[in-house]
Amino acid sequence: MTRTLSGVGVTPLSGLGTVRWYRPDGGPDLDAIQADDPDIEHERFERAREQADEELHAERERTAKVVGEDEAEIFDAHRQFLSDPQITDAVEAAIDSGQAAEVAVDSAFGDAIDQFEGMEGRMAERADDLRDLRDRLLRLLSGGERIDLAELPAGTAVLAERLTPSDTAQLDPDRIAGFATATGGRTSHAAIFARSLGIPAIVGVGEALFEVEDGVEVAVDAENDTLVVGPDEETRERVSEKRDVEIRRERVETADGVEIEVAANVGTTAEIQGTVDQGADGIGLYRTEFLFLDRESPPDESEQVDTYRDALESFPEGRVVVRTLDIGGDKPVPYLDIPDEENPFLGQRGIRRSLGPDTDLFETQLRALLRASADTEGTLSIMFPLVATTDELDAALDRVDSVTEALEADGVAVDMPELGVMIETPGAVLMADALAERIDFLSIGTNDLAQYVMAAARENDAVADLHDPRHPPVLRAIRRTVEAAHDHDAWVGMCGEMAGDPDLTRLLVGLGLDELSMSAVTIPAVKAAVSETESTAARALADRALAASTKHDVIEIINTQQ
C-alpha cells in the first residue's frame, strides 16, 4: 500500500531506492566496563584522541575536495573540541578518580553537551557536534566497528533519525538513491551536504519515518517534499527518470527578456572550476574566511593577491563578489584573540571585528583585493558582512578610500571596484535605503536573515519550521530590500540557500532580484527555471505571496502557480 510522508525537500532532485536504516551502534555497555590502572586508562584515552584526530583530518580533506571548504569547516570544529581543556581536563580528572576511559569520556562530554544545549543560537548546535565526537571516541576506545556508508549497495535509500556531518560526508552520490531523516531543517549540515553532493534528500519527516521498514521501496521525491513508501508505477517512473538539465554557459533571460545573473557560492580556489563547469556567470559569494582558517598565521598580502586573482581570471567576463573576512566567536582562529561569547552570532563578528580588533587584517585584505583587480580582467565587487548601521558602512568606505590612496601613492593604478553589503539582519533591512544610497549593490543572505527575522536558530530542530524563508515576514524583508536598492540604482542579489531552490526561482524573479548565487550543483536547474519564467506572471505571483499571512498560504500559492 502506498503511503506518502511529508518533510522538507532540500535538493531539487528525486530518486528511487531500497530502504536501509542507519542506526549507529549505541556504544559500549558502560556499566560492564572495569577500570584498569589510571596510567593505562590515560594512555587509552590519548591513543583514541590521536586516532580520532587522524580520522577527522582525513574526513576534512575528503569533504573539502568532494563537497567544499565551507562544509569541511565542521571537522575543524570537531578537532578543536578534541583538545578543549574544559573537556580533556574533565576526562583526565575522572580517570584519576578511578573511572575507565569510556566512562570518563561519556561523563565529560555529557556535561559539555548539557551546557551547550542550555545556550541559544549556533552555540546550541554544538551539542550535536559534541555527540558526534563523543560517539567517535567511544567507538575507538571500545574497538567498535564503524558502519561504512560509502559502501552501501547501489540504489540504497538511507533512512535515519539524524545524520551527522561525519555520516553525510561518507555518502556516495553515485550509489545513494537519496536519504530521509526524522529531524533537521533546510540549513542543517545534512541538508547542506546533500545539496553540495547532489543527493535527493528530505529532512524533518518526523516520527512517521520510524514506521518505514528496512527493505521496502521508496521514492525520495525531494522536488515535492515527500517520501513515498511503496510507490505506484506512475511515481516510480517519474522519480526514476533522469532529468538531464542542460548546462548553459551563456547568461539567461526570462521568457520575456529580463536578464538574471546566476552565480556560485565558493570558499576556496579549488571549488571554482566546478562552478565554471556548471555554467556559473560568476561568483556571487566568495567566503574569504576559509583562507584564514586552519593555519597558525594569517595569509600575507601576496598570497591573498594570488588567490583573488585566480578567481577573477576564472570569470574574465563575469563578476566576482568577494566577502571580506567574516570571523566571529563560532570560528576558532589560533592567531586571533577571539573571546568566548554566550551567543557569538549576536556578538562581535563580520564588519564589527574588521573595524575593531582585526583592522590590520582588514586593510591588508583590501590592499590585496584592489591589487588583484588592478591587473586582472573581470569585475571585482567587495562586500562587507553583517553591516547593521550606516556608521559601520561609512567607516568601511573610509578604509577603502585610505587604502586606495596608499596604493596609488605606491604607483598602483586602482580601478575602483563595486562596493556592497550583505543584508542579514532586520536592522539592515530597515536601513536598506540609506545603505543603498552609499554603495553599488546589496546581497541578501537569507540563511541569517530568516534566523534573525523569525528569532529561530538555524539548526535548532525544535524551531526548524520557523527557519524557512517562505514565511511572509522574510519575504516582505526581501521585497523591502529590493525596492530600496532599485530606488538608488543599486543592483540586488541573494546568496542564501533560498537562491538555489529552482522551485522558488519564479518567486524570486517576481520579487525583483537581479542576481542569484548558490551551490554549483543547482545552477543548471535554476538557469532552466529562469528561462521558463515570464516576469509579469512572476510579479503577480510575488504580490500574492507578499499578501499572504502564513507560510502555508505562501507554499500553496507557489505550488498552484508552477
pLDDT at 89: 92
* pLDDT tens string 428-470: 999 999 999 999 999 999 988 998 999 887 666 677 788 889 9
Q: Are residues 57 and 121 in the same domain?
A: yes
Mean of pLDDT values over 291-306? 88
Could you tell me the pLDDT band of residue 274, with boundaries at 50, 70 and 90? confident
Instruction: State the average pLDDT over residues 341-366.
Output: 86
Choice among 108-112, 329-333, 344-348 with the minimum mean pLDDT:
329-333
Asked if the structure places residue 247 within a domain, the reply is no
CA dist list (Å): 226 to 14, 136, 265, 398, 411: 10, 32, 27, 51, 60
Average pLDDT of 311-318? 94
State yes or no: pLDDT of 339 exceeds 80: no
Query: Residue 107 maps to which CATH number?
Result: 1.10.274.10
pLDDT tens digits for range 281-298: 999 999 998 888 767 889
Q: Is a pLDDT exceeding 70 seen at residue 120?
A: no
Tell me which residue of 179, 178, 182 sits closest to 206, measured CA to CA: 182
- Give the pLDDT confidence score for residue 192 in this predicted structure: 77
Give the end of a domain, one of 110, 142, 174.
142
Best mean pLDDT range from 144-158, 365-379, 537-551:
537-551
pLDDT > 90? residue 101: yes
pLDDT given for residue 359 in this prediction: 94
Cell of 92: 583526565
Tell me the per-residue pLDDT of 147-161, one tens digit each, with 9 for 90 and over: 778 888 999 999 999
- Torsion sign, CA atoms 404, 407, 408, 413: negative
Question: Which grid cell sits at 252?
Answer: 539567461
- 9 and 56 in a single domain? The answer is no
Domains identified in the chain, total number:
3
Which segment, 326-335, 336-345, 444-453, 503-512, is predicted with the most confidence on average?
A: 503-512
Q: Pick the closest to residue 84 from 67, 108, 107, 100 (CA basis).
A: 108
Distance of alpha carbon 109 from alpha carbon 57, whole angstroms = 21
Per-residue pLDDT at 556 exceeds 90: yes
Residue 417 neighbours by CB under 8 Å, 6+ apart = 369, 370, 373, 379, 380, 381, 382
More confident residue, 56 or 193: 56
Please confirm, yes or no, whether 189 is among the known catalytic residues: yes
pLDDT of residue 201 exceeding 90, the answer is: yes
55 and 184 share a domain?
no
Query: Over 70: is that where the pLDDT of 241 sits?
Result: no
Asked if residue 174 has pLDDT above 70, the reply is: yes
35 and 20 housed in the same domain: no
128, 194: one domain: no
The CATH number for 222's domain is 3.50.30.10
The CATH number of the domain holding residue 276 is 3.20.20.60
Q: How many CB atoms lie within 10 A of CB 207?
A: 8
Q: Mean per-residue pLDDT for 341-346?
A: 69
pLDDT surpassing 60 at residue 121:
no
Q: Do both 133 and 179 map to the same domain?
A: no
pLDDT, tens digit (0-9, with 9 covering 90-100), for 394-425: 999 999 999 999 999 999 989 899 999 999 99
Examine the domain organization and report whether 348 and 436 are in the same domain.
yes
Please tell me whether residues 109 and 159 are part of one structural domain: no
pLDDT score for 18: 95
DSSP labels for 145-164? PPP-GGGSPTTEEEEES---
pLDDT at 342 over 70: no
pTM score, two decimals? 0.69
Catalytic residue among 78, 189, 467, 471: 189
- 106-113, long-range: CB within 8 Å, 24+ apart, which pairs? 106/27, 106/30, 106/134, 106/138, 109/133, 109/134, 109/137, 110/134, 112/86, 112/87
Per the structure, the complete domain to which residue 42 belongs is given by: 30-142
Say yes or no: 120 and 170 in one domain.
Answer: no
Mean of pLDDT over the chain: 88
Do both 468 and 335 map to the same domain? yes
Domain boundary among 118, 142, 166: 142
Residue 119's pLDDT is 55
What local confidence, expressed as pLDDT, does residue 187 receive?
63
Asked if residue 242 has pLDDT above 60, the reply is no
Active site residue 495: yes
Of the pLDDT bands very low, low, confident and very high (cuts 50, 70, 90), residue 118 is low
The reply to whether 298 and 423 lie within a common domain is: yes
Q: Which of 195, 214, 240 is the last residue of a domain?
A: 240
Residue 458 pLDDT: 67
DSSP assignment string, 250-285: S-EE-TTS-EEEEEEEESSGGGHHHHHHTT-SSEEE
Q: Which has more pLDDT, 477 or 86?
A: 477
More confident: 21 or 76: 21
Q: What is the CA radius of gyration of the chain?
A: 24
> 37 with 10, same domain?
no
> Of the listed 78, 467, 471, 495, which one is catalytic?
495
| pLDDT digits 0-9 by tens, 474-513 | 999 999 999 999 999 999 999 988 998 888 999 999 999 9
